[in-house]
């Protein structure tokens, strides 16, 4: 056993060294600690992942993942084929400190440090959600894409590549691969009651890019955008990056609830998730939908309907889209394949109202130069051959069962309304909301849960205005039943400790 | 033969019906004309692509491509598995006219029509480059991606998919797939003399997205961006979409040439293509590079170096990147795999200066949610196994030969400096510039060439300020030697007719 293996093995053998974290995370923490304490010095070569896995008695994939994370964060460096070395942190931080030379003479006035980022850049960075380095139990928003049919997809993909059509290597012109746009059109008509012809459908690289396109085409910097409060972070980020003024509108059990004070403002964009409000899960009532369409018409605003996970309804028929009610052509409808298939597929779509089709098509091409037609072609086949419907049915069943199990576990531990705790009973989506009494600090509870290796999210953090409700978002789609049983009990005890405090 | 086949066959048999256009385009034009003249009425079913191909004696792929284009533009509609029908143009245009109801009472004042797009949205749409529906001879910027090694790529891709790593289906965290970032780091150090460590490299969905990220992080709406004049359209579009003020700086034979009037402005961003200025091909001199770095430091501006096609240098060593000279950490360097591999791969990269790494990483994740790790993994193998270098060598040879052939054809027809025409002798890139005397209307010449099925571009159209030089951009990378010989002579005669007029 090499000295480095030995050192790491000793650390990992300590019973109080992050006992609840997964192996990969423990190894990462052990190595990071050793590097910070200079027990592993700069330039030291680490054992190979194969040797280290053997020495520690863990899987090689675990070691590789830990190494990757260390590499990502700059603790180690590796050269192709020649091993992994401890990085020189001193040199790195010195260059980080010394690298930026704000101008200090002449025009620079009183030598004040000039911010390297723009104003909006600073806002974006300060409030960054930050990447998830690994998915921990109950992280909301994550689907279990390990159930993705790898072999089938590979077969379809190979069929497309065997044809070797050079035109599918080009940029996606005119809104994307036509057969995919046709398949999306059919799907939206039948499953979502969207009023759509194929010309209106444009394939994008996912919802973030759909939103960016809408913001750039339909709003100018300084314009107002109405957002739901609480709201999906990703949408907020894109609007901020476009320098829009965000006007939060409180969400209740029937979705976005407009007040007279809201109606006094003049939005250019209205961002809503009517089928399944993110993150509360509320379904917008028919009356509210009609009202919103009227308001958009009166105020000449565009409604951006983000129908991100309507496929996950575990009982009853899926709800029709807001767009289907729109007689004034004020709704830009958008969806994604990231939730049903896998996040990294990066294929979403926009349905533009007829009068915006030409502008969207030309801006999509000019600004984003869409591509990945090979993937689009494989996906078109996947849908046309019925696999999409089968896959939705399969994961809907899996997620429905997991949801039910999580709910039962929590209710069993917490009671239905005991301690002022309410567990959402809405039968859809990829997470449920545990609502907490107003005095409970849900952000503190999120931190407490994280110490037990549970990645729930505090509802407060999704608010732009002072939070009206407190709670935790608990994702279940990614968790196996065993994990739900174990971590569910753990989470209940965390919640109880917070509520009783 | 069906009546529709018969009708189209008759049109195509006319000798003066677009004789120089490719088959696909002729079929498209014939069908469009028949639909406009209502010889093919709304609701009529078209023959299947198989039957039509047989009836007209052309390939089925040609028919399919023509149908696709007709579908894209709304002339025909098709339902999965049930054939293609002529669309109801009347209904369509009526809905286009009637679809948008600007508010005409109350708050709307004097009933003036409210623009559906934002101000920047209108600018973007009015000046849209518009998609290319097909690549015609001499279209600049296009590489011959039909030489892409389909089989090899498929093998590498299958290797990645066989491993069925669920983590590669997730979003790309922390800047992209680490082995790809390492491969890019090595490549940039060795081939481009870029000063870079792997933490600085972030994988994006291509240069448009790299530029958008830079603009959003580093500049606020209303800030000034210096751009080369003439300039790459795509970059201009992104800056416009971000509501930046574009300040054009004239390009001469040594690249961007700063004048005192330019130095009186305060840019936040400086966009340059120093290795091979787009579109003139000028290489920025060392003196100019040093000057620009100094100016950026003094003015606290960021230089965005777009090194889009430095791989295509046919003689001598590739030039070092500007970033390699930068001692003040003012350069954000970016590149793409779209030119060397294929456009639709949508993988590019940004090298951020050390002090911006964290901000770029978090904004990249928050705003764009990068993905396609499977493709990134296949690409990492492609590079690590040496195929990338081999492929560059191969296409460099092909393109170099084509360039030489085009040059010789044009010189043979036009003479070296006859009629005031100069053909650029710069040995790099994917197009050459035919410079024209100042009195020649290059835009008219572009139109004239288009009538002969040649897609050259007028240099004037790349200018923001009144054009200083006139000329045509002639792409050769996509053209086979036969096409170059044929269309080269044709182009020379078009040019002569324009010069002599």
The predicted-structure confidence for A221-231, as pLDDT tens digits, reads as follows 999 999 999 99
Which is more confident, B263 or B64? B263
Q: pLDDT tens digit string along B71-89?
A: 765 678 776 557 888 877 6
**pLDDT score of B19 more than 80:** no
Distance from CA of B161 to the nearest CA of A (A): 7
pLDDT of res. B402: 94
| B83 and B184 share one domain | no
For residue B43, the enclosing domain spans 3-93
Number of compact structural domains in chain A = 3
| B371 and B462 share one domain | no
Q: Could you tell me which of B268, B255, B257, B259 has the C-alpha nearest to residue B226?
A: B268
Confidence label for A92 from pLDDT (cuts 50, 70 and 90): very low
* Cα separation values, A427 from A9, A317, A433, B208, Å: 46, 11, 11, 40
Across B388-416, average pLDDT: 91
| A67 and A199 share one domain | no
Structure token digits, residue B242? 């971000």
Average pLDDT of every residue of chain B: 86
Q: Please report residues of A whose CB lies closer than 8 A to that of B99.
A: 329, 353-355
Which is more confident, B24 or B225? B225
pLDDT of res. A103: 35
Q: pLDDT tens digit string along B270-315?
A: 999 999 999 999 999 999 999 999 999 999 999 999 999 888 887 7
Cβ of A216 and B124 within 8 Å? yes
Whether A179 is covered by a domain: the verdict is yes
Residue of B368, B478, B479 for testing the chain A interface, max A β-carbons within 10 Å: B368
Across A477-498, average pLDDT: 91
Among candidate residues B385, B413, B435, the one where a domain is terminated? B385
Whether A496 is covered by a domain: the verdict is yes
Among candidate residues B359, B385, B411, the one where a domain is terminated? B385
DSSP state of B318: P
**pLDDT score of B44 more than 60:** yes
Cα–Cα distance measured from residue A399 to residue B211, given in angstroms and rounded to the nearest whole number: 39
Cα–Cα distance measured from residue B165 to residue A342, given in angstroms and rounded to the nearest whole number: 12
Among candidate residues A353, A370, A388, the one where a domain is terminated? A388
**pLDDT score of A454 more than 70:** yes
**pLDDT score of B112 more than 50:** no
pLDDT of res. A112: 42
pLDDT of res. A261: 95
Q: Please report residues of A whose CB lies closer than 8 A to that of B187.
A: none
Cβ of A146 and B131 within 8 Å? no
Which is more confident, A429 or A345? A345
- Percent of chain A surpassing pLDDT 90: 57
Instruction: Say which residue the tokens 């990614």 belong to.
Output: A478
Which is more confident, B425 or A196? A196
Who contacts B288 (Cβ-Cβ below 8 Å, separation ≥6)?
Answer: B254, B255, B256, B257, B258
Structure token digits, residue B378? 């296949």
| A206 and A325 share one domain | yes
| A190 and A321 share one domain | yes
DSSP string for residues in A390-434: HHHHHHHHHHHHHHHHHHHHHHHHH-SSGGG-EE----BSSEEEE
Distance from CA of B490 to the nearest CA of A (A): 26
Cβ atoms within 10 A of the Cβ of A81, count? 6
Across A216-237, average pLDDT: 94
**Per the omega criterion (within 30 degrees of 0), is the bond before B279 cis?**
yes
Cα–Cα distance measured from residue B45 to residue B41, given in angstroms and rounded to the nearest whole number: 9
A33 Cβ under 8 Å from any chain B Cβ: no
| A362 and A395 share one domain | no
B346 Cβ under 8 Å from any chain A Cβ: yes
Whether A483 is covered by a domain: the verdict is yes
Which is more confident, B217 or A104? B217
CATH of the domain at B214: 3.40.640.10
Cβ of A118 and B223 within 8 Å? yes
Cβ of B371 and A106 within 8 Å? no
A240 Cβ under 8 Å from any chain B Cβ: no
SS3 helix, strand, coil % of chain B, rounded to 5? 50, 15, 40
Cα–Cα distance measured from residue B234 to residue B227, given in angstroms and rounded to the nearest whole number: 12
| B234 and B318 share one domain | yes
B105 Cβ under 8 Å from any chain A Cβ: no
Confidence label for B198 from pLDDT (cuts 50, 70 and 90): very high
- Percent of chain A surpassing pLDDT 70: 89
Q: Hey, which residues 121-150 in chain B have their CB within 8 Å of chain A?
A: 121, 124-125, 128-133, 135, 145-146, 148, 150
| B75 and B163 share one domain | no
Who contacts B54 (Cβ-Cβ below 8 Å, separation ≥6)?
Answer: none
CATH of the domain at A424: 3.90.1150.10
Cα–Cα distance measured from residue A158 to residue A144, given in angstroms and rounded to the nearest whole number: 24
Whether A131 is covered by a domain: the verdict is no
Whether B116 is covered by a domain: the verdict is no
Q: Could you tell me which of B121, B269, B352 has the C-alpha nearest to residue A212?
A: B121
Q: pLDDT tens digit string along A28-59?
A: 878 877 887 778 888 888 888 888 888 888 88
Across A401-407, average pLDDT: 94
Provide ipTM, 2 decimals: 0.77
Distance from CA of A489 to the nearest CA of B (A): 27
| A492 and A454 share one domain | yes
Cβ of A107 and B174 within 8 Å? no
| A343 and A414 share one domain | no
**pLDDT score of B132 more than 70:** no
| Helices (H), ranges, B193-336 | 207-218, 233-241, 260-263, 286-299
Whether B129 is covered by a domain: the verdict is no
CATH of the domain at A79: 1.10.10.10
| B277 and B328 share one domain | yes
SS3 helix, strand, coil % of chain A, rounded to 5? 50, 15, 40
Cβ of B133 and A205 within 8 Å? no
pLDDT of res. B94: 33
pLDDT of res. A26: 84
Cβ of A371 and B345 within 8 Å? yes
CA A155 to chain centre: 28
- The number of CA neighbours under 13 Å toward the Cβ of A124 is 35
Q: pLDDT tens digit string along B430-456?
A: 999 999 999 999 999 999 999 888 999
Coil/strand/helix, residue B252: strand
Q: Could you tell me which of B130, B125, B128, B106 has the C-alpha nearest to residue B115?
A: B125
Whether A136 is covered by a domain: the verdict is no
Residue-wise burial string across A234-263, b where 16 or more C-beta atoms lie within 10 A, e elsewhere: bbbbbbbbbbbebbbbbbeeebbbeeeebe
pLDDT of res. A83: 80
DSSP state of B367: I
Q: pLDDT tens digit string along B233-278?
A: 899 999 999 999 999 999 999 999 999 999 999 999 999 999 999 9
> Are B339 and B311 a contacting pair, CB within 8 Å?
yes
Confidence label for A310 from pLDDT (cuts 50, 70 and 90): confident
DSSP string for residues in A326-342: -SSS-EEEEEESTTTT-
Instruction: Say which residue the tokens 């004048």 belong to.
Output: B259
**pLDDT score of B345 more than 60:** yes
A245 Cβ under 8 Å from any chain B Cβ: no
Q: Which of A104-118, A152-166, B64-78, B98-112 is least confident?
A: B98-112
* Cα separation values, A330 from A268, B123, B493, Å: 11, 21, 51
Confidence label for B205 from pLDDT (cuts 50, 70 and 90): very high
Q: Hey, which residues 217-236 in chain B have their CB within 8 Å of chain A?
A: 217-223, 233-234
Distance from CA of A216 to the nearest CA of B (A): 6
> Are B471 and B459 a contacting pair, CB within 8 Å?
yes
Q: Hey, which residues 444-483 in chain A have their CB within 8 Å of chain B?
A: none
Whether A142 is covered by a domain: the verdict is no
A216 Cβ under 8 Å from any chain B Cβ: yes
| B377 and B416 share one domain | no
Q: pLDDT tens digit string along B20-29?
A: 667 777 888 7
Residue of B nearest to A380 (CA): B80
Q: Hey, which residues 367-406 in chain A have their CB within 8 Å of chain B?
A: 367-374, 384
Residue-wise burial string across B289-312, b where 16 or more C-beta atoms lie within 10 A, e elsewhere: beebbebbbebbbbbbbbbbbbbb
pLDDT of res. A393: 92
Distance from CA of B342 to the nearest CA of A (A): 6
Which is more confident, B142 or A160? A160
**pLDDT score of A361 more than 90:** yes
Highest mean pLDDT (candidates A155-164, B8-17, B55-64): A155-164
A174 Cβ under 8 Å from any chain B Cβ: yes
Strand order in the sheet with B331-336: B201-204, B348-351, B331-336, B302-306, B267-272, B224-229, B245-252, B255-256
């Amino acid at each position: 056993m090499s000295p480095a293996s030995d050192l790491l093995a000793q650390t990992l053998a300590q019973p109080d060294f992050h006992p609840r974290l997964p192996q990969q995370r423990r190894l990462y923490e052990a190595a990071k600690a050793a590097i910070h304490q200079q027990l592993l010095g700069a330039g030291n070569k680490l054992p190979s992942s194969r040797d280290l896995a053997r020495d520690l008695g863990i899987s090689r994939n675990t070691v590789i993942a830990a190494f990757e994370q260390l590499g990502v964060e700059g603790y180690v460096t590796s050269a192709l084929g020649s091993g992994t070395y401890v990085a020189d942190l001193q040199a790195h931080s010195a260059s980080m400190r010394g690298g930026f030379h704000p101008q200090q003479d002449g025009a620079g006035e009183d030598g004040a440090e000039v911010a390297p980022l723009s104003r909006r850049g600073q806002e974006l960075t300060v409030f960054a959600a930050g990447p998830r380095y690994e998915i921990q139990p109950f992280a909301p928003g994550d689907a279990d894409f390990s159930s993705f049919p790898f072999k089938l997809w590979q077969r379809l993909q190979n069929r497309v590549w065997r044809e070797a059509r050079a035109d599918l290597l080009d940029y996606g012109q005119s809104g994307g691969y036509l057969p995919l746009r046709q398949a999306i059109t059919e799907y939206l008509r039948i499953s979502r009651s969207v009023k759509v012809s194929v010309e209106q459908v444009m394939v994008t690289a996912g919802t973030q890019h759909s939103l960016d396109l809408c913001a750039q085409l339909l709003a100018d910097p300084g314009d107002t955008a109405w957002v739901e409060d609480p709201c999906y972070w990703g949408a907020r980020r894109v609007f901020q990056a476009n320098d829009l003024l965000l006007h939060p509108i409180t969400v209740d059990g029937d979705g976005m609830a407009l007040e007279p004070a809201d109606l006094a403002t003049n939005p250019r964009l209205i961002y809503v998730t009517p089928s399944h409000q993110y993150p509360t899960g509320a379904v917008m009532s028919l009356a509210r939908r009609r009202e919103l369409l009227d308001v958009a018409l009166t105020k000449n605003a565009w409604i951006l309907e983000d129908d991100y996970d309507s496929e996950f309804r575990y009982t009853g028929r899926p709800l029709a889209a807001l767009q289907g009610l729109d007689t004034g052509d004020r709704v830009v409808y958008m969806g994604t394949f990231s939730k049903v298939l896998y996040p990294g597929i990066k294929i979403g779509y926009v349905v533009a109202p007829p009068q915006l089709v030409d502008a969207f098509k030309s801006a999509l091409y000019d600004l984003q130069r869409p591509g990945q037609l090979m993937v689009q072609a494989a996906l078109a086949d996947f849908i046309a051959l019925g696999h999409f419907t089968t896959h939705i049915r399969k994961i809907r069943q899996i997620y429905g069962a997991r949801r039910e199990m999580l709910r039962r576990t929590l209710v069993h531990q917490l009671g239905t309304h005991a301690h002022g705790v309410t567990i959402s009973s809405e039968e859809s989506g990829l997470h449920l909301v545990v609502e907490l009494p107003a005095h409970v600090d849900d952000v503190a509870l999120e931190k407490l849960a994280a110490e037990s290796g549970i990645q729930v999210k505090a509802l407060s953090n999704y608010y732009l205005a002072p939070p009206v409700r407190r709670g935790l978002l608990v994702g279940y789609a990614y968790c196996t039943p065993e994990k739900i049983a174990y971590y569910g009990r753990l989470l209940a005890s965390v919640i109880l400790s917070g509520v009783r405090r």
